[in-house]
Structure 1
Amino acid sequence: MTMDAITFPNGRITMAGNLHLPENLDATAGSPAIVVVHPGGGVKEQAAGLYASKLAEHGFVALAFDASFQGDSGGEPHHLEDPYARVEDVRAAVDHLQSLDFVDAERIGALGICAGGGYGVNAAMTDYRVKALTTVVAVNIGTSFRRGWYGTDSDAAAVPTLGALARQRTAEAAQGAEPAFLPYVPAEPDENTPSDLVGAADYYLTPRAQHPNAKNKFLFTKSVSRIYTFDAFHMVEDLLTQPLLVVAGSDAGSLWMSTELHGRARGPKRLRIVEGGTHMDFYDVPEYVDQAVSSAALFFQEHLTAEPADRV
């Protein structure tokens, strides 16, 4: 397996990615390819890169990239988490893969991790160039922000935060205040922090997976208004027609989002719940990553390597 650092266009933004290539790639034959979408707050060198490298070991061309406005990718203001832009990032990644002579433009799939799973779903619903989709510990970021990590709050729980956002925007626009940022994961978890988010802090903020391009911050006023109105699964029942594999851990606080996605999807679908797995286990713990990758590789081999008439 080899990896090439690349750039590709996304409108006026230059995207930065790592293209993982399988050993003995035949440049004259169209290979199946996977777009790998990183979690919120992540970068291509973390979980997305790990999954891309392992998919390449299974024979797939795999592209992990930094979201626009984040990491090494362009876009201003930086540190913006814009769900609609992130969905467009997936489409731009498909554009790039289709431009490569050694990729079969009709055999492109997507794999998204955490919020990247939700973004992958939303992209696939409106871009049928994505022929098969896998989510790993999927998070519907808008719903999660409104209802909380466990999904127990009502959407109206977002109202106080939106009030604070309005006040902060006034301070920045009319009073010259500096832009405010929020953390993706709690820097100092306490006894009230969900266990998955304690694990997220350990992943992102310690040598376990810390990276200088993952700053653990996003713009408050410009990101939250976009996130709170975003629903990655809106119209999934009618628009997601491609085969879907949903992978999640039995002990993940995010499990409810994976089971909701699987329950609502009406096309060909599979649900793989890995016993004992927490949300963060699927970022880098070999036991769980390997199970997710093995399931995804078999799924993509079935749906991206068969002739079109043979695909389910």
Structure 2
Amino acid sequence: MKSDVKFKNNTILLAGNLYVPSEFDEAKKYPAIVVSHPGGGVKEQAAGLYADKLAELGFVTLAFDASNQGESEGTPRYFEDPYARTEDVRAAVDYLTTLSYVDTDNIGALGICAGGGYTVAASQTERRIKAVATVSMVDIGSLFGEGLGRVVSVEEQIKLLEQVSQQRTAEAGGADTLYVTYVPQELEEGMTGTMAEGHDYYVTPRGCHKNAPNRLVFTSFGPILTYSAFSHIDKFLTQPFLAIAGSEADTFYFSQEAVDKAASQNKELFTIEGATHVGLYDLPEYVNPAVDKLAAFFSQNLK
């Protein structure tokens, strides 16, 4: 059972899909889960899939489009502001607390890919989030700045920031907004890993959506390169914490590091054998065991 909802992040109106269990009774109180989508994604893709499946298992869930993306407001369109996206998570929690059938003492948060990093970042200070889970998590600041495996030098990152600054000057003078792609629009021969998988998911009929056109405002790299999802994880992430990652994911190290560093005394890295980063977005053989693990985790920690 899904309904369209709107809620505010400061002055921006965000669009969400609210899911409730099939035997929903508005007079009862339900644990609730905020679900954040990957960078470049929208609520109708992986986030909606997980939200729907968790609602079938008894939770109220909210998947939503990030600021500047999908059906949510905000300009420039397709600007990836990690600080705004972290605040989006808090705003989604705000909205859930206004619903009479949500048990406001039992709200959890789930994030996928970059949404996982944003969820971890928000949960460090958003104490209304009582349990935190991620799937194929990445810290977008590290991923976009240092690259997969942290192979990009500081000097190269500074060159990128110089280009961002030059583009801002050009756009201030009237130039058109410069867009790049999240994942390759066309695959190069021999390309493998998450970027190739991302093409298969976002660009082909497998997972593409009209509201997720694989566009990223180039100047987004300015705020992204200063962002760290894990900056205070060793002090403030004390809630129960579950990170799910595929054994074949080239982003596995993000989940491992987050679990290693988190202050929580109740934390787990759950590995799904054979799964890749993007395989956990939609492939049933990986999504179903991930959902089973998430349901058990949230059932145990949202009571």
TM bin (shorter chain): over 0.9
Letter in 2 for 1:298: A
Letter in 2 for 1:18: N
Q: Which residue of 2 aligns with 1:254?
A: 251
Q: Secondary structure at the match of 1:242?
A: coil
Cα distance in 1 for partners of 2:154, 2:166 equals 20
Aligned length: 302
Is 2:241 the counterpart of 1:244?
yes
Letter in 2 for 1:208: R
Q: Which residue of 1 aligns with 2:194?
A: 196
Cα distance in 2 for partners of 1:192, 1:159 equals 29
| TM-score normalized with structure 2 length | 0.97
Runs (4+) of structure 1 moved beyond 2 Å? Answer: 150-157, 191-194
Q: Which residue of 1 aligns with 2:224?
A: 227
Cα distance in 1 for partners of 2:39, 2:191 equals 18
Given that 2:106 and 2:130 are in contact with CA atoms closer than 8 Å, whether structure 1 keeps it comes out as yes
Task: Please give the residue correspondences for 1:76-155 in structure 2 after superposition, counting only pairs within 5 Å.
Answer: 76-155=75-154
Given that 1:146 and 1:156 are in contact with CA atoms closer than 8 Å, whether structure 2 keeps it comes out as no
Q: Deviations over 1:159-216 (max 9, x none)?
A: 2211211222222223x32110111111112246442111110100111111110011
Q: Deviations over 1:242-270 (max 9, x none)?
A: 00001000110100111110111121101
Cα distance in 1 for partners of 2:217, 2:98 equals 33
Given that 1:82 and 1:226 are in contact with CA atoms closer than 8 Å, whether structure 2 keeps it comes out as yes
Cα distance in 2 for partners of 1:86, 1:224 equals 14
Given that 2:236 and 2:263 are in contact with CA atoms closer than 8 Å, whether structure 1 keeps it comes out as no
Q: Secondary structure at the match of 1:179?
A: coil
Cα distance in 2 for partners of 1:156, 1:129 equals 40
Letter in 1 for 2:204: T
Gaps of 5+ in 2: none
Q: Which residue of 1 aligns with 2:47?
A: 48
Aligned-pair identity in percent equals 50
Q: Which residue of 2 aligns with 1:205?
A: 203
Given that 1:149 and 1:194 are in contact with CA atoms closer than 8 Å, whether structure 2 keeps it comes out as no
Given that 1:44 and 1:65 are in contact with CA atoms closer than 8 Å, whether structure 2 keeps it comes out as yes
Cα distance in 2 for partners of 1:210, 1:265 equals 34
Letter in 1 for 2:295: A
Q: Secondary structure at the match of 1:72?
A: coil
Task: Please give the residue correspondences for 1:24-43 in structure 2 after superposition, counting only pairs within 5 Å.
Answer: 24-43=23-42
Cα distance in 2 for partners of 1:122, 1:7 equals 23
| Compared CA separation, residues 173 and 238, structure 1 to 2 (3 A) | same
Gaps of 5+ in 1: 306-312
Q: Secondary structure at the match of 1:43?
A: coil
* Counterpart pick for 2:260 among 263, 268, 272: 263
Is 2:282 the counterpart of 1:284?
yes
Given that 1:110 and 1:130 are in contact with CA atoms closer than 8 Å, whether structure 2 keeps it comes out as yes
Is 2:273 the counterpart of 1:272?
no
What is the root-mean-square deviation of aligned Cα atoms in Å?
1.2
